[in-house]
Each structure stands twice: as C-alpha cells, then as structure tokens.
C-alpha cells in the first residue's frame, strides 16, 4: 500500500495513537507533518523516520492552526490527507461538571476536528481528491458514565463527518471517522489512575473493568488504529465515505 508523494498532516501526533498513525503513513511513503502543543514528543516522533517533520500548534486556535498548515506546506507541499487525532478526555460526574469543563471537551475534541478539516480542505478540493479522517471513539457511538462532555464532543465528530461526507461526495474527497474502544496509550493510563483515585481499586482491577467492555477482553493497540487509517487513505477505500468505523473488538 503506497502513499508515495502524498502529504499527510496528523494532529496530536507526538504520542500514542497519533504517533503510530504518523509512522504508519511514513512507512507507506507519505511525507508526514505531525502537529501538537509540545515540541519534545513531536521531535521524538520525527526522529524515527526521515519522512516525518513537525510543527507545534494548538488545534483549538484556528488562526494558529492555519499558520501551522502553511508552515507544513512549506516543508512537504500541498496537503492530501488530514488525520484529526488531537483529543483529551476529562472524567467528572455530570452534576459536578462546570460549563468550562464541558466547553473544554468540545473545544479540543470537536472544534479541533472542525479547524483541522477546514485548514486542509482547500488543497484537496483544488487537487480533486483527498482524505479527511477523524479519530473519534466508541464514545461517539454510545454513552459512557462520567464523561458526558467527551461523549457529546465525539458524537458531534461523527455527525460532522457524516454531513461533510455528503457535502463533498462529488469532490473526490472522502470523510470518515475511526472509533476505537479503549486504546493502550498514556491516555488510558490516566483513565486507570483516575479510577484508582476515585474508587480505591487496584490498578489491575481498574484495567480489568475497562477491558470488560471489549468482547475480546483486551485493549485496542495503537497500530490497529494506524492500519485502519492507512487503509482509509488507500485507493481501495475510495468508496468508503461518511462512515464511523468501530475498532473495538465488537463492543459496538
């Protein structure tokens, strides 16, 4: 599966799933620009493959993000693929959540996708094709307790993808979401630590409680998400449009 000559931007590309996606695309021949707020992890990912460069930015700031995309074009040319992966999850009971808590989840998880797609779409429309891919979550397909803001944002991402896919259907640009279950990344470690802190469970029991949601009884691995993204970028997936692909062992 070759992506030689294509330029992919991966937001939240410094760690975990984003890093795995960036490296998978680079190994397939794409020139990749990883973006994120912290330079050190971005630099580390870029050091792992000669086709990977980086630009620091905050996806919640549309002006700064457009400037970052312009910088990325200077490095690797026009944009063919955008993988909107940047995200965050805060756990708080709904009755204790503040308006600021809720807004922060919408800003990074939903507005960040909107900003990223808008920043890259122009190049794709001019080229007559491209890929817009959002890394959503099974939380975009079902509810989970204590993360209402996160679920609301991820449901919004799925709605955005489905609407935009129809809007762009004749342009050659496809728009899809990947919806993983619990992925074994540093973000999962923080979720487990939060359960331990609030319930007194051991880390092992907390992890077991999360694995239970996956019918296969395991956590999703970052490379599984990366390979799904790689397939969506291929010509084989040219008719896959407006989908929310669940990568969850059959959870949903």
User: Which of 54, 144, 146, 150 is labelled catalytic?
Assistant: 150
Q: Which residues pair with residue 83 across a beta bridge?
A: 10, 133
CA distances, 37 to each of 51, 59, 141 (Å): 20, 8, 28
pLDDT band at 1 (very low <50, low <70, confident <90, very high): confident
pLDDT band at 198 (very low <50, low <70, confident <90, very high): confident
Domain ranges for the chain, please list them.
7-181+221-242, 184-219
Topology of domain 7-181+221-242 in CATH is: Rossmann fold (3.40.50)
pTM score, whole prediction:
0.96
Written as six digits, the tokens of 102 are: 């809720």
Residue 54 among the catalytic residues:
no
Q: Which residues pair with residue 13 across a beta bridge?
A: none
30 φ/ψ sector (left φ>0, alpha ψ -120 to 50, else beta): beta
- 20-56 pLDDT, tens digit per residue, is 999 999 999 999 999 999 999 999 999 999 999 999 9
pLDDT, the chain, mean:
96
For residue 95, what are the contacts with CB-CB under 8 A and spacing of at least 6?
none
Q: What is the pLDDT of residue 196?
A: 86
Residues 180 and 218: beta-carbon distance below 8 Å: no
pLDDT band at 216 (very low <50, low <70, confident <90, very high): very high
- How remote is the C-alpha of 35 from its chain's centroid? 12
pLDDT: which is higher, 198 or 134 = 134
- In this prediction, residues 204-214 reach a mean pLDDT of 92
Q: What whole-number percentage of the chain has pLDDT above 70?
A: 100
Q: What is the pLDDT of residue 187?
A: 79
Q: What is the pLDDT of residue 193?
A: 86
């Amino acid at each position: 599966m070759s992506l030689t000559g294509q330029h992919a931007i991966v937001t939240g590309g410094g760690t975990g799933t984003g890093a795995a996606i960036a490296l998978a695309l680079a190994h397939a021949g794409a020139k990749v620009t990883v973006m994120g707020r912290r330079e050190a992890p971005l630099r580390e990912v870029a050091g792992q493959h000669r086709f990977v460069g980086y630009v620091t930015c905050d996806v919640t700031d549309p002006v700064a993000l457009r400037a970052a995309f312009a910088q990325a074009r200077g490095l690797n040319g026009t944009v063919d693929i955008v993988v909107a992966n940047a995200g965050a999850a805060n756990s708080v009971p709904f009755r204790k959540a503040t308006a600021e808590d809720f807004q922060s989840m919408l800003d990074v998880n939903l507005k960040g996708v909107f900003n990223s797609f808008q920043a890259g779409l122009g190049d794709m429309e001019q080229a007559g094709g491209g890929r817009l891919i959002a890394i959503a979550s099974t939380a975009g397909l079902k509810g989970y307790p204590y993360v209402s803001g996160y679920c609301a944002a991820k449901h919004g991402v799925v709605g955005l993808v489905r609407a935009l896919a129809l809007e762009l259907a004749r342009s050659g640009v496809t728009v899809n979401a990947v919806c993983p279950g619990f992925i074994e990344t540093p973000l999962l470690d923080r979720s487990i630590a939060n359960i331990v802190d609030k319930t007194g469970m051991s880390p092992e029991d907390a992890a077991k409680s999360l694995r239970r949601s996956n019918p296969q009884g395991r956590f999703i691995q970052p490379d599984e998400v990366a390979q799904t993204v790689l397939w969506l970028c291929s010509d084989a997936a040219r008719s896959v449009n407006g989908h929310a692909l669940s990568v969850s062992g059959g959870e949903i």
